[in-house]
Structure 1
Amino acid sequence: MSNIINIKKIPKMKNINHIHLIGIGGSGMGGIAKILIKQGYKVSGSDLIYNFITKNLISLGINIYFKHEIKNITNNIDLIVKSNAIKNNNPELIIAKKLNITIISRLQMLAELMKFYYKITVTGTHGKTTTTAMIYEIYKLSGLDPTFINGGILKSSKEYAYLGSSKYFITEVDESDKSFLCLEPTINILTNIENEHLNFYKNNIKILKKTFLKFLKKIPFYGCIIICIDNINNYNLIKHNKLYIKKNIITYGFHKNADIQVYNYKQNGYKSQFYILEKKTYLSFKINLSIPGYHNALNATAAYAAAKFNGLNNKIILKSLKNFHGIIRRFDILGTIYPQKKIGYQYNIIIINDYGHHPTEIDMTINTARKVWPNRNLIMVFQPHRYSRTKNLLDYFIKILSKVDKLFLLKVYPAGENFIKNSDSKYLSKKINELGIIISKFIDLTDYYNVARYIFSKLEGNEILIFQGAGDINHLSSLFINKKFQNKKC
């Protein structure tokens, strides 16, 4: 079967010309918008935030409104695509219903876009974005020109979506609600399953696992499930349901029973290397990465497995992984600054921006930073994401955040949620201080210029300063690295 697909022959959606995306600035939504306009549809959208993605989409000719208003929805719109973050009381949704405009979810739109492709998806609680990007770069370097939608922006190319000419469509898929069941991938990577997004699953991880099982059942007989068995939920899912799934399954991880086993991991500063053993062929290969962390070794192994399943050249796979430089806001080193009192070059402060907002992700960030810079103090500025997540994982947050040397907590980024008692940053800070390992400081300020000035005044040098969270904390890290906060008067 040829790897080339004639995009012009892919049938357009009947009677659909103008598509409007509510929440267009999110990485997944923005990627869909980019693919749609490249396919020849008229695209518009709305969002509350001007960012890299909305700026890029505007440059492509997409009209974006930076306020959700009734007047944004006109009779000539044929289809509405809404982000998961959009509530039912959104004025654009309300008027669209009155006008009888069809409304679908982001993942329903993604399923339509992927319909005629060989679909490679990455699912799981953590590691989706990096793994997806690694697979994309391997296939691209192999000359396969895949289509790609990702939840983050590649550092090397600044890409988050791309319309290719081959049969391959590579994307990450989140489980934040059950709508991911509308997808039918050919290959699916499952990185891990943890207590996340449980508000959509009756706060019961068993329901989440059953939903993943239903998703894996949809893989065709000629496809493949690639799954990390270092994660206990993944391990048990495969162990107890192989007969139910009845699919090609490739397991990977540091686990001794993995089909592709990772071993001899070593980290040399910001770079890392490890070996993988293919149990089926008894072949072993060394993989070099330009990014650190055990988690990235697992991400790279998953990408390797996906590429090998389709018979890609081993040398190209290893070369691509070595040249992979990561994702913006994923352990993203922004640069260095000096404290107020400059003592010497060795006492500078390294600024890192990281998107992780689940305790497991934060733990990976902390452990990686400790390995890269063992002789520096680790300071974290953390912005909790959602009251519900803080409530559900409170004890886990307390344990993990107590591993840093100094902690500053910003107000919770609610992501549209209402306040939940004993689930805010002030309460989290109090419980961390009660544990008695470190001192946590809750910053009860809203102006990021003032927040930046306050944190800067507490820095002494020889520190790693990590801005951690999935909300708008990246605006604060940007102020820091550019020192803009020093020029604005209070």
Structure 2
Amino acid sequence: MFNKKNLNKIPKMNNIHYIYLIGIGGSGMGGIATILVKQGYKISGSDISSNFIIKKLSLLNIKINLQHDAKNITNNIDLIIISSAIKNNNPELIAAKKLNIAIISRGEMLAELMRFFYGITITGSHGKTTTTAIVYKIFKLFMLDPTFVNGGFLKFSKENAYLGSSKYFIAEADESDKSFLYLNPIINIITNIESEHLDYYQNNIEILKKTFLKFLKKIPFYGCIIICIDNIHNYNLIKQNKNFLKQNIITYGFHKEADLQLYNYQQNGYKSRFYLLEKKKKISLEINLNIPGYHNALNSIAAFATASYVGLDPIMIIEFLKKFKGIERRFDILGHILPYQKIKYKKNIIIIDDYGHHPTEINITINIARKIWPNRKLVMVFQPHRYSRTKNLLNKFVQILSKVDKLFILNTYSAGENIIKKANSEFLTKKIRELGIINPKFINLTDYYDIANNIYLKLKGNEILIFQGAGNINNISSLLISNNFKNLKN
């Protein structure tokens, strides 16, 4: 029987009831699992170890196996979703193929979730997680109740996924494995394009740029491309293809040609202020943020452009931008190390946790810290992420990491990659030392307590201690911030 109440209800996937996610502990996979369980599907999954995401999913009564085992795959499973980190020899994947269960990637599932919504995606080499969160926060404060999937967690609500009731679906779109090509948004933001994840693009940035262009062409003619032209690759992409792209295009940045031009940027501690010139309207607006950095000013204007494009009031958008408090592990000030009872002189050490793992991101972290605390020594604990990234960007890593006062380098977080000897942590330490600016220390330990103790004993006090990396390095910072040491000797 026809029922008007069902007009806006998202149709369920026919014959799909039980869904299993292999690699469920990743941020993107965990977000998808959250949406699916809220939609009423039976969800379970697996990963190799527990983390914050898995603990959150367990609270939703999602059963999670902490190992990949063929026995976990049963014939009552209707659909398998796999993370991009899952290899072809994964025993659960092999078992699913033997049982002829439908198998799709994370990107394909995200596309299906977005299919019946007004899709808003955020892409780019850097800044997409924060920008996605700002867009979501604005829409949420406007009471638009959007659905949301992101690669990072908002600081206070601890959300990285939410099933809303409106037509809007806001999502971080991942270019790292080309999975963003599955998506068909109406609005897309491109923050920047850099030499990142080139292993998926034949180590050729030109192929990466062509893939971004292919994605932009998928946006409908009535949709909108919002793009930062401070980035040279973004600038050339639009300049060279503007006549071929039929969509609305809004450029933003400090660049003099930007439609939305930022100017007079000032940073005061952790806060920032700047002005925005809307050239078409010929008006100038003052913007105040509670997050620091040029990059966050740009992220906020990308979100401003998105909200304005769908018709939200600009003055209210500006007020809501002030309410954004940031993302966990993005220049995340965790607090102070409490002086250990046996070593009283090590006082006033501020710990920062940052997810950045590319030289450009690390450089931003260093510059912000120098700006906020110009008179403090900067100590960084860096965990390289992937041997391939270290190999491809070795010289840039050496130059950027040499900008801190003291550097500890941990073993590489491989993310499943095979070891590359001339791109491991010991080799990176050697190359930085050879540059002659600082004398880095390679900590060849695996136990979190041992690493924490090793670092603490070498601190002098009144320092800024930054834990930098996308792997499991935050497990160490959490020990220090909680003053949780064992067998510490001065």
- Normalising TM by the smaller chain, what interval? over 0.9
Name structure 1 gaps, 5 residues minimum: none
Q: Which moved more, 1:313-322 or 1:412-421?
A: 313-322
Tell me which amino acid in the other structure corresponds to 1:203: N
CA separation of 1:95/1:326 partners in 2, compared to 1, >3 Å: closer, same or farther? same
SS at match of 2:97: helix
Letter in 2 for 1:130: T
Distance 2:49 2:306 in 1: 35
Q: Which piece of structure 1 moves more, 175-184 or 417-426?
A: 175-184
Deviation by residue 1:401-458 (Cα, 9 ceiling, x = unmatched): 0110010000000000001120001000100010001111111111121111111011
Range 456-465 or range 45-54, more displaced: 45-54
Answer yes or no: is 1:185 the counterpart of 2:185: yes
C-alpha deviation, 1:156, in angstroms: 1.9
Match of 1:389 in 2: 389
Match runs of 1:13-412 below 5 Å? 13-338=13-338, 341-343=343-345, 347-412=347-412
Q: Give the structure 1 partner of residue 473 of structure 2.
A: 473
AA partner of residue 467 (structure 2): F
- How far residue 182 of structure 1 moved from its aligned partner, in angstroms, is 1.2
Check whether the contact 1:118–1:168 (CA below 8 A) recurs between aligned residues.
yes
Cross-structure match for 2:423: 423
Please report how far the alpha carbon of residue 49 of structure 1 lies from its aligned counterpart in structure 2 after TM superposition: 2.5
Report the alpha carbon displacement of residue 339 of structure 1 after superposing the two structures with TM.
5.4
Q: Do the aligned residues in 2 keep the contact of 1:339 with 1:459 (CA within 8 Å)?
A: no
**Secondary structure, in 3 states, of the residue corresponding to 2:267?**
strand
1:432 partner amino acid: I
- Residues 353 and 468 in structure 1, CA contact (< 8 A), matched pair in contact too: yes
Identical-pair percentage: 71
**Counterpart of 1:152 in structure 2: which amino acid?**
G
CA distance in structure 2 between the aligned counterparts of 1:273 and 1:129, rounded to whole angstroms: 21
Residue 113 to residue 5, structure 1, CA distance change in 2 (3 Å)? farther
Q: CA deviation at 1:110?
A: 0.3
- Measured against aligned partners, the alpha-carbon deviations of 1:299-325 in whole angstroms (never above 9, x if no partner) come to 001000000001112232112210111
Q: Conserved in 1, the CA contact under 8 Å of 2:453 and 2:488?
A: no
The one-letter code of the counterpart of 2:265 is Y
Q: Deviations over 1:33-81 (max 9, x none)?
A: 0110111111111112222221121111211111110111100001100
Which residue identity lines up with residue 454 of structure 2 in the other structure? Answer: Y
2:338, 2:481 within 8 Å by CA — same for their partners in 1?
Answer: no
Whole-Å separation in 2 of the counterparts to 1:343 and 1:429: 29
Separation (CA, whole Å) in 2 of partners of 1:7 and 1:353: 45
- Contact kept, 8 Å, 2:338 with 2:483, in 1: the verdict is no
State the alpha-carbon separation in 2 of the partners of residues 339 and 360 from structure 1. Answer: 33
- The one-letter code matched in structure 1 to 2:55 is K
Q: Give 2:442's aligned residue.
A: 442
Deviates more, 1:8-17 or 1:57-66: 8-17
1:179 shift after superposition:
2.5
Specify the code of the residue in structure 1 equivalent to 2:351.
Answer: I
* CA deviations over 1:337-377 (Å, ceiling 9, x no partner): 25564459xx5100000000000000000001111111110
**Equivalent position of 2:485 in the other structure:** 485
Report the AA paired with residue 140 of structure 1.
K
TM-score of the two chains, using structure 2 as the length reference: 0.96
Q: Decide which moves more: 314-323 or 375-384.
A: 314-323
Mapped partners of 1:482, 1:374: distance in 2: 26
Residue pair 2:23, 2:85 contacting (<8 A) in 1 also: yes
Separation (CA, whole Å) in 2 of partners of 1:105 and 1:343? 52
2: CA distance, partners of 1:461 / 1:171: 41
Aligned-partner Cα distance in 2 for 1:7–1:325: 36
Task: Assess if the C-alpha contact under 8 Å between 2:398 and 2:431 holds in 1.
Answer: yes
CA distance in structure 1 between the aligned counterparts of 2:251 and 2:239, rounded to whole angstroms: 11
Q: What code does the residue aligned with 1:265 have?
A: Y
3-state SS in 2 of match to 1:333: strand
Are the structure 2 counterparts of residues 444 and 411 from structure 1 closer, same or farther at C-alpha, using a change threshold of 3 Å? same
Q: SS of the residue aligned with 2:274?
A: strand
